[in-house]
Chains A and B, each alone.
Chain A
Amino acid sequence: MGTADILASGRDLTVERPAAVLVGVLAALLALDFVAKIAGFELTVGSTHLLGGSLPIERLLTLVWDGLVMGLAIGLAGIGLSMTYSILSFANFSHGDLVTSGAFAGWAVTFLIAGLVSGQGDVGYLLSVGSGQGPTSADLAINVVSTPLAIVLGLVVAIAATIVLSLLIDRLVYEPMRGEGAISLLIASIGVALVLRYLIVFVFTGTNRGLTSGGGRLRVLGEEGRLVFEAVVNQPGQPREVLFSLGLPVVRFGDYTAELMNVTSNELTLVVIAVSLMAGLHVLLQRTKLGKSMRAMADNEDLARVTGIPTERVIRATWLIGGGLTGASGYLIALERGTLSFNLGWVLLLLIFAAVILGGIGSVYGAMAGGVVIGLANTVSLVWIPSSFTTAAAFAIMILMLLFKPEGLFGGVTTA
């Protein structure tokens, strides 16, 4: 394509889709500003700040890591939503509360095991994830390093409980409504959301509770220009223990001294488990007949049925896989945050929707990629805007996506 062609197509675009061009220009400006900030370049005219500024590399790394962790969690939660959206063709507004349900179910078990092992608290207190009087989260000292068994069992129960719950809800609510319009199912799912959320309030109370305490962390430091990797374990009531501290003597960056990154063991657990679950799902959907059936159903349900695909069984499998991943995401998000309250999932729901829409409804990769983009948008946008607007920024990205590319980044219905 010659320069004239490019110019002509650019002119056409400006005329036909001025809003798209505006958004594009804005995005380019932000990117330019971002580069200028990293380079430490600032452009001011008079007293008006125009461009650039300073963005220390350690702040950027922290923002990116936090965004990545949050994004993977959102992506994991989004897969279930994306699958049900494409196969049952409705926006499930109760998905966020499935996330919360999984978190509560799993953490009840984790609390029970941790409490029984350490001999603290009565069963009722532990099973209700610390409602009422009992040992505090610091007393129980739950974290990946000190109570790995309780965490693993909790995760398994979170997955199992959410699967059972999703199948039950499908049986009671959605199955009698198969074939109804997307909006009828959407409204019913709002009803499910209310029931789930406030049953959780009824059983577990509406307080925000602490879950974890202490744990290990990996740190990357700059020490007088030397890059140092350090692993630290910090358990409540015990002195800080440095497992190893590894200096890289080869490269020196002047006299750079700062903490570059700080990764907690709980965050690392989330990232590792989320990535392995997603990889496992990928294999499952690519290599098995189930994945093919799902793609077929997402494309055209009637056609899939006449081809002999057992659609009801595929729907059950969808809830099973989607529900399991949703429960896992709820449990892991609570682990990473260290706190849990009844509206955990509801608050996340719109971000999850944002991720799913961004990635393209029905696309599992899309949900993952969308999750990471939304997670990064939620943290990296702090470079430009105050923290009270970051969630709004993520929603704004979703709205823009819906307006300009409603089929999502990964386009269309693929379920793989």
Chain B
Amino acid sequence: MSDRQLDVREAVDTVVERLGPVVERIFARDISMILVAMLGIYVLFTIFGFLLIPSDALVGGLANTLQRVTFLTAVYAMLVLALNLHWGYTGLFNIGVAGFMAVGVYTVAVLTNPTTASPPGLGVPMAFAATLPIDPGVAHFLGLLFSVLVGMLAAAVVGAIAAVPALRLRADYLAIVTVALSEIIRLSLLSTTLQEFTLPVAGVELGTGAGRGINLPTNPVRAIYYNDPTNTAAGLTPVGEAIFPAVDAVGINSTVVVGWTYTLFLILVVAGFYWLLVRIGNSPFGRILKAIREDEEVAQSLGKDTRVVKVKVFMVGCALMGLAGILWEGSKGFTDPTSTTFLPLQTFYVFIALIIGGAGSNTGSVLGGALFASLLFEGPTFVARIFSEYLELDTAPRTFAEAFGELFALDPTPMLAYGLENISALRFVLLGLLLIVLMQYRPEGLLGHRTEEAAAVDLRDRSPAAAADGGGGDE
């Protein structure tokens, strides 16, 4: 090795030595790692906003963009955490996430739609409001909560139906069974046979709306601002009166305020998911899960009924996926089976996010969700828009062939313009490449550490001597 290389190395070492403790202190706590990542994402998208949004609409546009990014981060974080319970903790390769989401969402839709609607539902919140001897608004909300709980339960039950037999199978068979199940669910929801039907015995009319879609309950967050959540003309609540004019003065739309309120609520839910997963992970139950992941036979030989444990954890994860789906689609007030939320692709998104973050790590899951939603999902579109805004390219050719033909004339700009125009396709190519590269070079992701202490207490403060003989055990 030459002297110069050594110099560079020394310099790098000094920098690392000086910065190391600072970085370590910041990243020692998981929460600050997530906060720093979110801050970075916000700074990036603020720069995007400055480059793209005309200055007179800047504040409103930025508020909108950041809300969307945060919202997507939150829903992906929930889904990734739920999947982390299956794949990261227990090693169950479930690629039917989209199907379990759909079960939750459609159960809520069927339960909450009024009996008179098209497609008809069961009208649970209305029944609550009519029968409970309390304020109708509160009763309606309770009915909604009840429906969400039933939705989670339904997702868990479908999960159990899949899990009880399928968990006996090899991991790759479980993958095929779950993805086939999610397709069966999606195709059934698309079927016109179930668009509107009468339950054979009970005689109750129900429907999934098939390809036309189905309404979901109005976002209850709206009740904070509007007297009547379904009708903006009915006037504002005192909170709405206070906030809307103030934000309107800086150019932020009222819908963005409602969106942010809902997003903040989702962040709380993510925190709840995180807490639940940490609790599960540190419980005796969680230790069985990790034992199953590492070596199921060992867990069995220690007298653990791994089958029951696997079914249980599968149900919990599916319920969480159902809840994540409900909260995601619930923000729109409408859903249909063609929405990308329920495509098998959605499952792969969640997987990519989990693998980026690192399977097995809860902080990694949230981080993976955030990085996926911002950099990979939303980012490419913004970058493409910035390029087309500032490069002043000619109109993009309509086909690849035309753009390719121009390459022979040594003019790469039509190809560039075509690429920017079709960034949505290239984004998927990027996702696929990333997945391959991650699996080849860093299958453990950013924070995935498969060697974990079985103890519930932090063992990182061990004496150096103890660490020397005990640590470093890789899988």
B191, B427, B435: the one within 8 Å of A187 (CB) = B435
A-side contacts of B419, CB under 8 Å: 202
- Known A187-B435, A198-B426, A396-B184; judge A132-B173 contact (CB<8 A): no
Contact status B426-A203, CB under 8 Å: no
B432 is an interface residue with CB less than 8 A from chain A: yes
Contact status B400-A203, CB under 8 Å: yes
Compute the total of residue contacts between A and B using a CB distance below 8 Å.
Answer: 153
Q: Which chain A residues have a beta carbon within 8 Å of chain B's beta carbons?
A: 19, 90-91, 123-125, 127-128, 131-133, 173, 176-177, 180, 182-188, 190-199, 201-206, 350, 353-354, 357, 386, 388-389, 391-392, 395-396, 398-399, 402-403, 406
Nearest Cβ distance between residue A192 and chain B, in whole angstroms? 6
Contact status B400-A204, CB under 8 Å: yes
Interface centre among B175, B181, B191, B439 (most CB of A within 10 A): B439
Contact status B191-A399, CB under 8 Å: no
A192, A201, A388: the one within 8 Å of B191 (CB) = A388
Nearest Cβ distance between residue B366 and chain A, in whole angstroms? 20
Nearest Cβ distance between residue A340 and chain B, in whole angstroms? 16
B-side contacts of A403, CB under 8 Å: 165-166, 168-169
A-side contacts of B169, CB under 8 Å: 402-403, 406
A85 to B333, CA, bound (A): 43
Contact status A395-B183, CB under 8 Å: yes
A123, A184, A196, A357: the one within 8 Å of B176 (CB) = A357
Nearest Cβ distance between residue B310 and chain A, in whole angstroms? 15
B429 is an interface residue with CB less than 8 A from chain A: yes
Residue of A nearest to B436 (CB): A191
Contact status A194-B173, CB under 8 Å: no
- Known A392-B188, A395-B183, A406-B169; judge A186-B440 contact (CB<8 A): no
B-side contacts of A194, CB under 8 Å: 348, 428-429, 431-432, 435
Contact status B172-A91, CB under 8 Å: yes
Given A91-B175, A185-B439, list of 18 further CB < 8 A pairs? Answer: A91-B172, A124-B401, A132-B398, A132-B399, A186-B172, A198-B432, A201-B425, A202-B400, A203-B400, A350-B176, A357-B173, A386-B192, A388-B193, A389-B188, A389-B191, A392-B188, A399-B166, A399-B177
1/0 per residue, CB under 8 A from A, across B406-449: the answer is 00000000000001001001111101111110011001000000
A322 to B436, CA, bound (A): 22
Q: Which of B159-218 contact A (CB under 8 A)?
A: 165-166, 168-173, 175-177, 179-181, 183-184, 187-188, 190-193
- Known A198-B426, A402-B173, A406-B173; judge A188-B436 contact (CB<8 A): yes
B-side contacts of A350, CB under 8 Å: 176, 179-180, 183
B351, B399, B428, B434: the one within 8 Å of A205 (CB) = B399
Nearest Cβ distance between residue B425 and chain A, in whole angstroms? 4
Contact status B184-A392, CB under 8 Å: yes
Q: Which of B332-377 contact A (CB under 8 A)?
A: 348, 351, 355
A124, A186, A202, A406: the one within 8 Å of B175 (CB) = A186
A197 to B404, CA, bound (A): 19
Chain A residues touching B, majority SS = helix
B-side contacts of A395, CB under 8 Å: 180-181, 183-184
A-side contacts of B187, CB under 8 Å: 388-389, 391-392
Interface centre among A124, A176, A180, A182 (most CB of B within 10 A): A124
A187 to B171, CA, bound (A): 12
Nearest Cβ distance between residue A246 and chain B, in whole angstroms? 42
- Known A388-B193, A399-B181; judge A195-B173 contact (CB<8 A): no
Residue of A nearest to B422 (CB): A202
B405 is an interface residue with CB less than 8 A from chain A: yes
Chain B residues touching A, majority SS = helix
Contact status A188-B440, CB under 8 Å: yes
Contact status A187-B351, CB under 8 Å: yes
A-side contacts of B389, CB under 8 Å: none
Residue of A nearest to B211 (CB): A388
24 A-B residue pairs with Cβ-Cβ distance under 8 Å, sorted by A, are A123-B401, A124-B399, A125-B399, A180-B439, A182-B170, A183-B172, A188-B436, A190-B432, A190-B435, A195-B429, A202-B400, A202-B429, A350-B176, A350-B183, A353-B180, A354-B180, A386-B191, A386-B192, A388-B192, A388-B193, A391-B187, A398-B176, A399-B177, A406-B169
A-side contacts of B192, CB under 8 Å: 386, 388
A188 to B168, CA, bound (A): 24
B93 is an interface residue with CB less than 8 A from chain A: yes
Residue of A nearest to B405 (CB): A124
Contact status B425-A198, CB under 8 Å: yes
A-side contacts of B176, CB under 8 Å: 91, 350, 353, 357, 398, 402
A-side contacts of B433, CB under 8 Å: 191, 195
A191 to B433, CA, bound (A): 6
Contact status B401-A131, CB under 8 Å: yes
Contact status B436-A192, CB under 8 Å: yes
A180 to B435, CA, bound (A): 15
Contact status B429-A199, CB under 8 Å: yes
A182 to B404, CA, bound (A): 38
